[in-house]
Amino acid sequence: MAVLFRSGTLEDLHDILQIEHLTQPDGWSENTFISEIEKPNGINLVAEENGKIFGFIFGHKIDKSVDILTFSVHPYTQGKGVGRALLEHFLNLVRSLDIDEVLLDVRVSNTRAIMLYEKFGFSIIHTRKNFYADNGENAYVMRLNI
């Protein structure tokens, strides 16, 4: 696939929201995406092919940390390497910043995402009990040293 990885803009919101609603049970609202796109410390990437967005990753930088806040690939294109490529581009981008670590939360049941993060060197450092409002599921906090 001739996939382009670039920063997301307000023009991408329609595609982003569609993917978010298909992949995240407690997904972000349009207003949350707008405020993240407009934040000066926000870092986001979308994967685009032929003008259509089919994956995204949103994070932000606070002091010497980058947090990955949301990360999804359209269900039709999952399992084809897009998530891996998006995460790789995102990590290459943030490695150029003055940071020590990348942090994220992930549902303890989300084996696919956990395996992907582990392949990039993330490890579980902590469990947050009853973290997710929709079902009370615990979250792992995962960390990558930079």
Options 73, 91, 94, 144; binder of ligand COA; rule CB under 6 A:
73
Toward ligand COA, which CB reaches closer, 79 or 121? 79
Selection from 84, 74, 131 nearest residue 112 by Cα: 84
Size of the site for ligand COA (CB under 6 A): 19
Toward ligand COA, which CB reaches closer, 17 or 116? 116
121 is a site residue for ligand COA (CB under 6 A): no
Least spacing, CB of residue 13 vs ligand COA, in Å? 18
Toward ligand COA, which CB reaches closer, 12 or 40? 12
23 is a site residue for ligand COA (CB under 6 A): yes
33 three-state secondary structure: helix
What are the phi and psi torsion angles at 72 (to 5°)? -150, 150
Q: Are 92 and 44 in contact (CB under 8 A)?
A: no
16 is a site residue for ligand COA (CB under 6 A): no
Distance CA 13, CA 128 (A): 30
Sheet holding 42-49, edge to edge: 4-6, 42-49, 52-62, 65-73, 101-107, 139-145, 123-128
44 is a site residue for ligand COA (CB under 6 A): no
- Which parts of this chain interact with ligand COA (CB under 6 A)? 23-24, 71-73, 78-84, 106, 110, 112-113, 115-116, 119
